[in-house]
Amino acid sequence: MSREVDVAILGSGSAGLNALGQVKKAGKSYVMINGGEFGTTCARVGCMPSKALIQIAEDFHRRSVFNRHAIAGGDALTLDSKAAMEHVRDLRDTFVDRVTSNSTDKMSEQVLIHGYARFVNPHTLEVNGETIKAGKIIIATGSRPIVPQAWEQFGDKVITTDGFFELEHLPESAAVIGLGVIGLEIGQSLSRVGVDVTGIELSDTISGIQDPALQQVAIDVIGQEFPLWFGNPAELRAEGDKLCVTAGDHSVLVDKVIATLGRTPNIADLNLAAIGIDHDDRGIPCFNPNTMQVGDSHIFIAGDANNRRPILHEAGDDGKIAGYNAARDTVTAFRRKTPLAITFCDPGIASIGASWDELDPEKTAGRALIMAKNKGTLRVYADKTSGIILGAALMAPRAENLAHLICWAIEQKQTVYDLLRMPFYHPVIEEALQAALYDLKGKVDADPPAGLIELATL
């Protein structure tokens, strides 16, 4: 069997579905080929079910402050972990159903193919014994968790996010290995619902933080809830019905290891050698992030498959750009949005715009505002000459709200003076941003506007 289409989309996650929307809008013929489970990574095993667990953990953790608020009985509260995980799965299934019912469920078998595609040549794919020739091809095959091969011998004692939400009962003890965004979120949540957690990270930071001042604050705050080990690789060995986890001079016996070592693009089985394109040292095709085009070819790569910014909103934008260009004869470059990354721990952590390691210290003014004990810090970066806000990094209550305000300001190329003219209510967390901006304005060379800094003249 064989057929020809204008566009073939490999993958039905956030990137693939957004690409599909653009291709359909342009009236092009298409097929969508999907291997594995339907539903986006975010909805099935990522940020959406994790937020359900985070909410349960936060609510249960609140019992520790009830006495201070003159509310008695908090010590008697208990958590049914089996029912809690059932609730998380119920919400997860709802999320996935919403994604598929609005897209793939309405597609016929002629355009939605269940299977794993591989390249035969640059314009030809093979899937389930069928040959598909496509004028344009979009690779949006997503990613999978990284698990060292040596750990596979321990079976279900080592789990990733792909299996974590299927647990019927939470373990009594766990080592969370890899303290990026999802590792930190799951680690803190498990600790707050009573699991004896140890966090292990090969690098010297958590949540991908680049700013050294924020890095230390985050380690100090999170380290008060469960032990954190840094700087050494983790080694596992079986010891009875448990696992002994060793990292440097530290070791601990646990019931489960939660492997959150990151994710790797699902591209190894695509037979990319058949299309003769350049790739980087990780095997990822070289592409333009403003067009999603691979080299100057008819192939586009979007979402986790390109490993650029594996976050849902970035994958969605990747897919829109890839789909738009795949459906047209000419390729258009799009300006990318201001980077925004949020970790939903408590307090939350966020990175906005340019990160610490990307900035020239000679041309950048920075301000650190240390908040109340155990609440975090706020770092704002601006261009010294113009006062334009370049980036920020923070750990604070309601971090996601502050992060969006700062992100929108960066997107609009606003200066420190522009932001100080905005209204700030009292008492709200946004006043922390105001305080940092007041100090920051004294570190930039640009002259303030006429009149009072915080008020615009008529």
Which CATH code of 3.30.110.30, 3.40.50.720, 3.30.70.580, 3.30.390.30 fits the domain covering 340-441? 3.30.390.30
Supply the pLDDT for residue 102: 65
Supply the pLDDT for residue 454: 72
CB 150 within 8 Å of CB 303: no
- How many angstroms separate the CA atoms of 131 and 125, rounded? 6
DSSP state of 438: H
CB 296 within 8 Å of CB 330: no
Which residue intervals of 223-333 are DSSP H helices? 312-326
Please give the backbone phi and psi of residue 437, each rounded to the nearest 5 degrees, phi first: -70, -40
CB 363 within 8 Å of CB 381: no
What is the sign, positive or negative, of the torsion defined by CA atoms of 289, 395, 228, 359?
A: positive
* Burial class of 276 by CB neighbour count within 10 A (0 to 12, 13 to 18, 19+): exposed
Supply the pLDDT for residue 185: 96
Which CATH superfamily, name and number, covers 2-145+264-326? FAD/NAD(P)-binding domain (3.50.50.60)
Q: How many Cβ atoms sit within 10 Å of the Cβ of residue 349?
A: 30
CB 371 within 8 Å of CB 220: no
Q: 2-145+264-326 and 149-261 share one CATH topology?
A: yes
CB 344 within 8 Å of CB 51: yes
Look up residue 104 and give its amino acid: T
- How many angstroms separate the CA atoms of 81 and 99, rounded? 27
Q: Which two structure tokens, joined as six digits, stand for 223?
A: 């380290």
Q: What is the torsion angle, in degrees rounded to the nearest 10, for the CA atoms of residue 74, residue 75, residue 80 and residue 85?
A: 60
**Buried/exposed 34-65: b ≥16 CB within 10 Å, e otherwise:** bbbebbbbbbbbbbbbbbbbbebbbebbebee
DSSP state of 271: -
Opening angle at CA 108, ends 107 and 113, nearest 5 = 90
- How many angstroms separate the CA atoms of 18 and 345, rounded? 29
- How many angstroms separate the CA atoms of 410 and 423, rounded? 17
Chain centre to alpha carbon of residue 267? 20
The ranges assigned to domains in the chain are: 2-145+264-326, 149-261, 340-441
Supply the pLDDT for residue 219: 95
Q: What is the torsion angle, in degrees rounded to the nearest 10, for the CA atoms of residue 139, residue 141, residue 144 and residue 148?
A: -50
Supply the pLDDT for residue 372: 62
CB 355 within 8 Å of CB 363: no
Q: Which two structure tokens, joined as six digits, stand for 90?
A: 């119920």
Chain centre to alpha carbon of residue 367? 26
Residue pLDDT, tens place only, 267-282: 999 999 999 888 898 8
Give pLDDT tens digits along the chain (458 positions). 799 999 999 999 999 999 999 999 999 999 999 998 777 787 777 788 999 999 999 999 999 999 999 999 999 999 999 999 999 999 988 888 877 766 665 677 779 999 999 999 999 999 999 999 999 999 999 999 999 999 999 999 999 999 999 999 999 999 999 999 999 999 999 999 999 999 999 999 999 999 998 999 999 999 999 999 999 999 999 999 999 999 999 999 999 999 999 999 999 999 999 998 888 988 899 999 999 999 999 999 999 999 999 999 999 999 999 999 999 999 999 999 999 999 999 999 999 999 999 999 999 998 777 776 557 899 999 999 999 999 999 999 999 999 999 999 999 999 999 999 999 999 999 999 999 999 999 999 988 887 766 777 66
Q: Which of 173, 166, 198, 195 is nearest to 183 (CA)?
A: 198
CATH architecture of the domain formed by 149-261: 3-Layer(bba) Sandwich (3.50)
Q: Which two structure tokens, joined as six digits, stand for 394?
A: 């923070």
State the pairing for strand pair 130-139/124-127: antiparallel
Q: How many helices (H) and strands (E) does the chain have?
A: 11, 22
Give residue for tokens 């809008």.
Answer: 25
